[in-house]
Structures are given as C-alpha cells and as structure tokens.
Structure 1
Amino acid sequence: MNKKELYQKKLQAEFDQLSAEIDKLKAKAELAQADAQLDYYNEIEKLRSMRDEAKSKLTEFNNASDDAWEDFKEGMDSALKTLGNSLKSVTSKFK
C-alpha cells in the first residue's frame, strides 16, 4: 500500500467517526425538550453542511492522481479539523 492509500484510509476513518458523532447528536436532539430541539437542529444542520464540504474534499482527494494528492492533503486536514472542532463545541453546548 502506498502513502496515498494509507492516508485515504485514515481520512475515511476520521470522516466516518465524525459522521457517526453527528448522527448521535441527532438522536440526542430527538430526546430533548421541544425548545431545545430547535437549537439542536440548527447546529446539526450547520455540522451537516460542514460534513458535506469535507466529503466533497475527500472525493477530490480520492480522485487526485498519485502525483497530486499531497496538494489536497492540507485542505482535507483543515476541513476535518474544523468539522471536529465544531462538533466538539456543539456537543459540549448541549451536555
């Protein structure tokens, strides 16, 4: 396995974990009181938008040639880090 393939697996695992955390947050929102649900859903929608952007970058990364994939690495890392930080912030807000 080359560096790109190893990195793809790492990125996909991280993306899948963040997506699962968003799904857990949605389940928690469904159990919340009606007034809190609106806040939850607004935050979840923002997270989903960020997740979709990260997924788009992941697709670009996966389609990049073996010579060009490192050009996408920084953007991909940044997108996942931003999504992760936002998810932590939202999760702590609704504890």
Structure 2
Amino acid sequence: MSTKDEYVEKMKQRLDKWSAEMDVLEAKAHKSQKEAKVKYQEQLSTLHAMRQDGEKRLETLKAATEDSWEQLKAETENVWDAFKDSVHAFKAHFK
C-alpha cells in the first residue's frame, strides 16, 4: 500500500503527464480543419476542467490527515480513470 507522500508524488507525476498530453492535443487542434477544430476545442475544454479537478484533489490530498487520505485516494483514482478514458477517446476520435 502506498504512503500518502508516495501517492502525492505519483499524482504530481500524473498531472505533469496530463499537461504534456494536452499540449500535444492542443497542437493538433491548431493544425486541424475548421469544423474539426471546434470539436477539438470543446473536448480540450473538458480535459482542462478535468485536469483542474485533479490539481484540486492533489491539494486536498496534501492537506488530508492520515485517517482521511485513503478515501480521498479512492476518489482521486476515479477522477484519474475518467480523465484517462477521455484522453484515449479524444485521441482515437481525432487520429
């Protein structure tokens, strides 16, 4: 089982990875055709909101007590899974 500090570090790494993936997707969006660009922008807005939620959850995890962080960890994993699924769907749709 991960300690709180290990998990917080793992989440920081995930957020960095999200940022890098989103940068690549945004670059593709800027190169796309006009109608596809609108769809890119809509989906990127959703991904940005999900990433911001991840950042908020990371801050909450940092401040959590040892007794409460396990529950927060489970909730954060759900957010991560939803974000990961959204990124995969986004990439598949705009290949």
TM-score (norm 1): 0.90
Quick one: percent identity of the two aligned structures?
29
| Counterparts of 1:72 and 1:48, CA distance in 2 | 21
Whether 1:65 and 2:71 are equivalent positions in the alignment is no
Deviation for aligned residue 1:47: 0.8
CA distance in 2, matches of 1:8, 1:56: 12
Q: Are 1:15 and 1:80, in contact at CA under 8 Å, matched by a contact in 2?
A: no
Query: Residue in 1 aligned with 2:86?
Result: 86
In structure 2, runs of 5+ residues without a counterpart are none
CA-CA distance at 1:35 after TM superposition: 1.7
User: Does structure 2 conserve the Cα–Cα contact (< 8 Å) formed by 1:61 and 1:73?
Assistant: yes
Residue 26 of structure 1 corresponds to: 26
Q: Which amino acid aligns with 2:12?
A: Q
Which amino acid is 1:63 matched to? A
Moved more, 47-56 or 81-90: 47-56
Cα distance in 1, alignment partners of residues 78 and 48 from structure 2:
16
Q: Give the distance between the partners of 1:84 and 1:28, measured in 2 at CA.
A: 18
Instruction: Please state how far the C-alpha of 1:52 moved relative to its aligned partner.
Output: 1.2
Cα RMSD of the aligned pairs, angstroms, is 1.3
Divergent runs of 4+, >4 A: none
Give 1:68 shift: 2.0
Aligned residues: 94
Gaps of 5+ in 1: none
